[in-house]
Amino acid sequence: MVIELKHPLIEHKLAILRDKNTGTKEFRELVKEIAMFLCYEAFKDAKLEKVTIETPMQEMKIGKLNEDKYAFVPILRAGMGMLDGVITVIPNAKIGHIGMYRDETTFEPVNYFFKVPKDIEKREVILLDPMLATGGSAIDAIDLLKSKGVKKIKFLCLIAAPEGIKRVEKVYPDVPIYCANIDKKLNNNKYIMPGLGDAGDRIFGTK
């Protein structure tokens, strides 16, 4: 299942994000903002727990989110750009990290780091990566999380290619994909078109 955020504010922010003239500071801020919108959408089905509180006027029962049931796991390094946005929404969620880089010959991901909370299997995991291109990194990350016993995973990205969506849905139909936009296609170098370039380089100003 893929959920594409269709909203004028999202389209507006993506237009600035895609622009090659947008600087590192503004790019980073926009990634954070769009990640917040994605997190909002991804938590629409969140279960609330009934608690009793006191307002200045009276005691009442109300639903609250148990933030200890969630973990955010960015795929390094670009996924780190989304982390500030989602922890603004759910500040007490635990955080893990999955390190991958793309082999420029095979275009497949190479894993080099995996560190998650000890009780990750008890949590719903929100996987973060700005770009869903071939789907290789997403699938490898989901493999690692499922090997640790994680049962519920959601994947959040800014931009997705149809090829990547199809590949992830074929392997893991139980993992919903939340994206700000589905782009046209991958080019011969497996970059998303029209895309926004290399998200990691633009977030961290490394090119």
Active site residues: 102, 106, 198, 201
**Which regions of 30-144 does DSSP assign to beta strands (E)?**
49-54, 59-64, 70-76, 94-95, 97-102, 109-115, 124-128, 131-132
Identity of residue 162 = P
Task: Return the number of other C-beta atoms located less than 10 Å from residue 179's C-beta.
Answer: 25
Task: Return the number of other C-beta atoms located less than 10 Å from residue 2's C-beta.
Answer: 16
The CA-atom distances, in angstroms, between 42 and each of 19, 38, 39, 58, 116 are 26, 6, 5, 32, 21
